[in-house]
Amino acid sequence: MRIDVVTLFPEMFEGPMGESMMYKARDRGLLDLRVHQLRDYTTDKHRTADDIPYGGGGGMILKPDVVVRAVESVLEGAPPDTPVLLTTPQGRVFSHPIAIELAQHERVVILCGHYEGIDDRVRELVVTDEISIGDYVLTGGELPAMVIIDAVVRQIPGVLGAEGAVDKESHADGVLEGPHYTRPVVFGGLEVPAVLQAGNHAGIERWRHEQGLRKTWRNRPDLLLTAQLSESDKYLLAKFADEDAARHE
């Protein structure tokens, strides 16, 4: 998969995109990440990429001619359905299903928003999707772009290898993952749950699923509204509710 990023701060990508799984994905030829300096697409001698806003107000606005030139240039040779994402707090909120969908594409372009914003004609002319990584405002779209790249690239077959199974992880079926343990068997006065020590595979799977469901109930009850729940899951949720009620009596 090839991902092109257009940004005023290409150096920000060097550390995070050059380590660990992102390094491995690039080293194995599974990710071709190209980070482009937006200023390279300016035409004046000062390399001006932004300008003051029409109608007044603070902040600077990225210029439409520069941004559209950059995006059209990096899109050369890309399939016509290539997503062009704009990272912005005004976008739809990024999620696991969006990561899976993006990972199906051969090419993805990410345009990093910055300063007060970007001339809205860019959105109309070249952006296919506006993405936010959450309901808070960052100083720029670079960290969101890296978050999106990480979540997408780990979905590419061969990237995680033996390190992880993407179908069992949190959010894969709308329920969070349960807890994990390693040696020693007792730490800080707490023992690894007996079911994990016993090594009965079916028992372990059932326990893990129940723990994940319990964590979802505690930390992210909103996910249960859309999760795929079996009859036994519904029974367990009723049990958690009873336990909570008993605790508050």
Residues that bind ligand ADE (CB under 6 A): 87-89, 113, 132-134, 136-138, 141, 144
CB of 176 to ligand ADE, least distance (A): 22
Query: Are 94 and 147 spatial neighbours (Cβ–Cβ below 8 Å)?
Result: yes
Least distance in angstroms from the C-beta of 94 to ligand ADE: 8
In terms of CB distance, is 142 or 237 closer to ligand ADE?
Answer: 142
Helix (H) or strand (E) run with residue 92 in it: strand 84-93
Based on CB atoms, which residue is closest to ligand ADE, 111 or 237? 111
Our CB check for ligand ADE shows the closer of 134 and 179 to be 134
Of 74 and 118, the one with the shorter C-beta distance to ligand ADE is 118
Give the dihedral of Cα atoms 101, 123, 115, 22; nearest 10 deg: 20
**Do residues 130 and 91 make contact, with C-beta atoms less than 8 angstroms apart?**
yes
**CB contact at 8 A, 71 and 6:** yes
**Residue placing its CB nearer to ligand ADE in the complex, 11 or 244:** 11
Tell the smallest beta-carbon distance from residue 127 to ligand ADE (Å).
Answer: 13
As a whole number of angstroms, the distance between CA 206 and CA 202 comes to 6
Q: How far is the CB of 4 from ligand ADE (least distance, A)?
A: 17
Integer distance in angstroms from the first to the last C-alpha of the chain?
55
Sheet containing 61-62, strands listed edge to edge, beginning at the edge strand earlier in sequence: 50-51, 61-62, 117-118
CB of 35 to ligand ADE, least distance (A): 17
Q: How many residues does the chain have?
A: 249
- In whole angstroms, how close is the CB of 96 to ligand ADE at the nearest point? 16
For residue 71, what are the β-bridge partners? none
Nearest CB to ligand ADE, comparing residues 140 and 193:
140
Q: How far is the CB of 158 from ligand ADE (least distance, A)?
A: 28
* Residue among 54, 130, 128, 119 nearest 92 (CA): 130
Whole-angstrom distance, CA of residue 27 vs CA of residue 186: 39
Cα–Cα distance list, 12 to 8, 58, 63, 108, 141 (Å): 9, 25, 21, 19, 11
